[in-house]
Amino acid sequence: MRLEGKFALVTGAGSGIGRALAVEASKRGMTLALCGRRADALAATLALLDASKANIAIPADVTRSQDRAAIVARLKENWGRLDVLVNNAGVVNGGALEQEEDAAIERLVATNVTAPIALTRDLLPLLLVAPPSRVVNIGSMFGDIPFPLFSAYSATKFALRGFSDALRREFGDRGVGVTYAAPRATRTEAADALEQLIAAMTPSLDEPAAVAVQIWSAVEKDATSVYPPGAERFFVLLQRLFPSLVDSAVRKQMAKHIAG
């Protein structure tokens, strides 16, 4: 898909990967709608975009149906169409499963699974106005390689990957493509909050700007998925073919963290 001149909505655009995705999209000539709950964070992202385009900020909570309806109404009024929906807003949650409260699990599933499915459904009429259009779902390496101490979070990203495949099969013939992106650990507010846990898994974090370049380059090529360059792709294949080999590797890795 050629990105220049196209219209994209990025959820969770007030920080981290979402902000970087908005900035990179703007560099590639797109007009952006930014969504998130914090209006001040959206305004800070808006200030980083190409001011010659009619970019807009839509403060909204994607887990609330009335807020999603407000997003649809605003995009319909301003653009009358949508070329790319980026479902990026998410909660990153880690820790022992015994400590997880119902409310935290419900928030995780509502934000990472229910909201992107419902928002995609709500925006389909606008995505179908001028095909080809595309839905970009921001998953995680944990959506392929589930980790101990991230059991609920891993489950949400598996669900998002499944949704992405089904959506592609359901709407591909009508011109709505799907790209599932699986970043690895990336330096964001969410990663900062889980610094010790993430340090046990990886010695280095990716920069959001580099992740955004990989994702938009994949969208330009109409790729169905985008994984980080390097050894991760091998582990994804290993997980699918020989999950018990990955079991022992990740258990050893996290046992070190628990012991340490």
Ligand X SMILES: NC(=O)c1ccc[n+]([C@@H]2O[C@H](COP(=O)([O-])OP(=O)(O)OC[C@H]3O[C@@H](n4cnc5c(N)ncnc54)[C@H](OP(=O)(O)O)[C@@H]3O)[C@@H](O)[C@H]2O)c1
Q: Which residues bind ligand X (CB under 6 A)?
A: 11-12, 14-18, 35-38, 41, 61-63, 88-92, 111, 138, 140, 183, 185-186, 188-191
Residues forming beta bridges with residue 135, ordered by sequence position: 85, 178
Q: How far is the CB of 237 from ligand X (least distance, A)?
A: 19
CA-nearest of 85, 70, 56 to 179 is: 85
**Contact of 161 with 143, CB cutoff 8 Å:** yes
Nearest CB to ligand X, comparing residues 128 and 199: 199
Q: How far apart are the first and last CA of the chain?
A: 47
Cα–Cα dist 74/20, whole Å: 23
> What count of other Cβ atoms lies within 10 Å of the Cβ of residue 3?
19
Q: How far is the CB of 205 from ligand X (least distance, A)?
A: 7
Residue 213's contacts (CB-CB under 8 Å, 6 or more residues apart) are 24
Q: How far is the CB of 124 from ligand X (least distance, A)?
A: 19
DSSP per position, 221-252: TT-SEE--SSTHHHHHHHHHH-HHHHHHHHHH
CA-nearest of 223, 212, 260, 257 to 94 is: 257
Backbone phi, psi, residue 143, to 5°: -80, -5
**Contact of 43 with 91, CB cutoff 8 Å:** no
Q: How far is the CB of 57 from ligand X (least distance, A)?
A: 11
Q: Which residues are catalytic?
A: 153
> What count of other Cβ atoms lies within 10 Å of the Cβ of residue 141?
22
Nearest CB to ligand X, comparing residues 138 and 145: 138
Q: How far is the CB of 2 from ligand X (least distance, A)?
A: 25
